[in-house]
Amino acid sequence: MEILISFFLGTFFVLSSNAQEVEFTASANPDVLVAGDQFSVVFSSNERIDDLSLQELPDFQFLAGPMRGESKSVQMVNGKVTSVSTYQYVLYFMALKEGKFTIPPATAKIGSREYKSNAVIIQVVAGKNQAIPPAGGNDQNPQSGEIDESNLFVRLLVNKTDVYLGEPVEMTIKIYTRVDLSGVDPAFKGPDLQGFFTEVDNMSGNITREVYNGNVYNTAVLRKYYAFPQKTGEFTFEPFNVDVAVRQEVRRRISDPLFNDFLFPEIEEIPLTLTSRPVKINVKPLPPDAPVSFGGAVGSFDVTSSLSKTETLTNDPLTLKYSVSGTGNLKLINEINVHIPPDLEKYDPVIGTKMDSPLKGTKTFEYMIIPHMTGSFSIPAAEFTYFDPSSGEYKTIYSDLYNINVSRGPDETNSSPGILRNEVEVLNNDIHYIKIKNIKLFNNNNFFAGSFLYYVIVFLLLAVFILIIFIRHKLNIQNSDITGVRKRKADLYARKRLKHCQVFLDQGKFSELYDELLAALWRYLADKLDISMAKLSRDTAEEALSSKITDRELINEFFRITGECEIARYSRSAENSDIKKLYSDAIEVISRLQQKLR
């Protein structure tokens, strides 16, 4: 009896675990076609379809159907076997006229319930009666004759042609074909993006149908990236070449002495070179009078902050974290200006970047703060300014303000706030008895006060005091000179980032290496030349460098390295030896610039 009950319970749990939600969808293949072409409407479900009803479609001629089909796939993951079944109803139609039509949802009876599918949109255009290869590209009847630009071409598409400095431009290289395309060279160079910081977008490479100039083409995205302009002006992306291969029917004449000559058809792959057309983009400068807190961020962002705790002890570290999230040139955002009270020690931030897409993500700055004195302290709200291209305005947002209470730690014994000192050990604290016997006093006329040694020590102490005041005054002047501080710390900051580059190089993370190398070079130049990142471009940098140094070879070497970094970021042909040489060249050019720009 117990065995029977266990069997039924096990069967119940297996059936419950295998139960799944019913899915019923509709799709068209193709969904873009020429009037007079045939297409199919496929209704799919993960459960068996008992009955199907669809409204009449007066805009299409019904040809055949429904054709039923069933497929099953079995997978084994971690020892667990799962099977998925797919049931299909297929109807065939012919498009009668041009226009955009909607096939309404169909109703299917699955089990004891009725389900509705999604609507399907069909686009029909007027065109010549020319066969278009299927989206898979495996046409069994290759075209013959000449192939002109109307049947096969490549385009560089941009989502906008008038942008602000730093505003991302979406660039897509797409191929259009009405012939049987058998291959595309993936290592084509593409447009010259000198003056742009680029981010490559991962693409699916799927072939879709698209209407262009009234004709239907099979299209595929060959490359897609986002370009961030680094200087203003009008840019013209000159035509570039893409090598392709086309399957074409070639008829060869066969000579026969006994019979008449005849043409024998053969299929060959014909190599072709496609050339794009030039594309122009106008890059506008950012509006003047940018706020002091603007550091070059362009897009739409938000800032959040957090503090690990507000009640702490002396020498107990705190973690202050700022997160900048949004869409735009997130990777180019510099460190947030955080004002920490002088009694709290702040360390350099740990910077992390998490990108959901080439344009959208979150960048974090984590500061470690160590309080060395007791008392109450206030960390003011951090100010972050970005330029919003949609409104054409600078926008400033603020983080939260934090109040911190610091108490004496277990290793500290001070009793007054703001003072750290060790307890004073008191010796001989007993009260001595008064002597009542006769005491002989002698006057030896030997006083330290007023002696030569006394005046020497006083003079030395006074000189040391004046020297300390002078040095402190000089340091205050240097620290208030923001430009001087930037110039003095430029080399140190650049070498710190170059150490990060070495880590990326050892780990084989070449994309992160190029990002860090470009950021180190441009940040070094901006600090040394006292140019804000918002105004830094190749033109302004070259003009400022030419006014500072006369070594033209050194200037050209700097821009050669930055140019190769920008090109290599999306090139798949870079080798490790080239990357190592580029890294060593960057270290050498910064060392040479440091000597010239002292």
Q: Tokens for 409? A: 């730690």
Would you identify the CATH topology of the domain 482-596? Answer: Four Helix Bundle (Hemerythrin (Met), subunit A) (1.20.120)
Nearest to 584 by CA among 519, 513, 491: 513
DSSP β-bridge partners for residue 173: 156, 223
Contacts (Cβ under 8 Å, ≥6 apart) of 65: 89, 90, 91, 92
Q: Tokens for 498? A: 């170059």
Helix pair angle (510-529, 538-548), 10° resolution: 50
Phi and psi based region of residue 222 (left: phi greater than 0; alpha: psi -120 to 50; beta: remaining): alpha
CA distance to 313, 322, 380, per residue, from 307 (Å)? 15, 9, 12
Strands 318-328 and 294-307: what pairing?
antiparallel
Separation between Cα atoms, residue 323 and residue 354, nearest integer Å: 11
Angle at 214 between CA 210 and CA 217, to 5 degrees: 30
Report the side by side order of strands in the sheet with 375-379. Answer: 311-313, 402-407, 375-379
Nearest to 343 by CA among 366, 361, 369, 323: 369
Nearest to 91 by CA among 39, 25, 134, 51: 39
Domains in the chain: boundaries: 2-125, 152-284, 297-407, 482-596
Residue 595: its H or E element: helix 576-596
Give pLDDT, residue 566. Answer: 75
Q: In degrees rounded to 5, what are phi and psi of residue 6?
A: -65, -35
pLDDT in tens, the chain (598 residues): 444 444 444 444 444 434 468 888 888 877 787 777 878 888 888 787 877 778 888 878 787 777 787 777 777 676 677 777 788 878 888 887 778 888 888 888 887 788 888 888 888 877 654 555 555 444 444 444 567 788 889 999 998 889 899 889 988 889 898 888 888 888 888 888 888 888 887 666 678 888 888 788 888 888 888 888 988 889 998 998 988 888 877 666 655 555 555 555 677 788 888 899 999 999 999 998 888 888 888 999 999 999 998 898 988 888 999 999 998 888 888 778 888 888 888 888 888 888 888 888 999 989 898 888 888 989 888 888 999 998 889 999 898 899 999 888 776 554 444 444 333 344 445 565 566 666 666 666 666 676 778 888 888 999 999 999 888 877 777 655 555 555 666 666 677 777 777 777 777 777 777 778 777 777 877 777 777 776 777 778 778 778 877 778 877 887 888 777 777 766 644 455 477 777 778 778 778 777 777 6
Phi and psi based region of residue 479 (left: phi greater than 0; alpha: psi -120 to 50; beta: remaining): alpha
Q: How many residues are listed for the chain in this entry?
A: 598
Separation between Cα atoms, residue 579 and residue 565, nearest integer Å: 9
**In the chain, what is the greatest distance between 2 CA atoms, to the nearest angstrom?**
160
Nearest to 228 by CA among 533, 478, 438, 456: 533
Give pLDDT, residue 278. Answer: 92
Class of domain 297-407: mainly beta
What single string gives the DSSP state of each residue in 159-193? Answer: S-SEEETT--EEEEEEEEESS-EEEE-TT------
Separation between Cα atoms, residue 512 and residue 569, nearest integer Å: 9
Strands 196-200 and 215-229: what pairing?
antiparallel
Separation between Cα atoms, residue 343 and residue 378, nearest integer Å: 11
Sign of CA dihedral 189, 192, 193, 195: positive
358-370 as b/e: b if 16+ CB within 10 A: bbebbbbbbbebe
Q: Which CATH architecture has domain 2-125?
A: Sandwich (2.60)
| 48 and 22 Cβ atoms separated by less than 8 Å | no
Separation between Cα atoms, residue 218 and residue 133, nearest integer Å: 8
Separation between Cα atoms, residue 552 and residue 381, nearest integer Å: 45
| 155 and 144 Cβ atoms separated by less than 8 Å | no
What single string gives the DSSP state of each residue in 450-463? Answer: TSHHHHHHHHHHHH
DSSP β-bridge partners for residue 281: 235
Give pLDDT, residue 464. Answer: 92
CA distance to 434, 435, 446, per residue, from 439 (Å)? 12, 9, 20
Separation between Cα atoms, residue 262 and residue 253, nearest integer Å: 6
pTM above 0.75, yes or no: no
Instruction: Give first-to-last CA distance, the chain, whole Å.
Output: 94
In the chain, the amino acid numbered 72 is: K
* Residue at token pair 């290599």: 568
The per-residue pLDDT for range 205-227, each reduced to its tens digit, is 678 888 888 788 888 888 888 88
Burial of residue 486, with CB atoms counted within 10 A of its CB: 0-12 exposed, 13-18 middle, 19 or more buried: middle
Q: Tokens for 350? A: 């740990």
DSSP β-bridge partners for residue 365: 322, 351
In the chain, the amino acid numbered 3 is: I
Separation between Cα atoms, residue 311 and residue 376, nearest integer Å: 10
Give 294-317 as a 3 state SS string: EEEEEEEEEEEEEECCCEEECCCC
| Residue 450: half-sphere exposure toward Cβ, Cα within 13 Å | 3
Separation between Cα atoms, residue 230 and residue 239, nearest integer Å: 21
Q: What radius of gyration, in Å, describes the C-alpha atoms of the chain? A: 38
Is the peptide bond between 30 and the residue preceding it cis, with omega within 30 degrees of 0?
yes
In the chain, the amino acid numbered 73 is: S
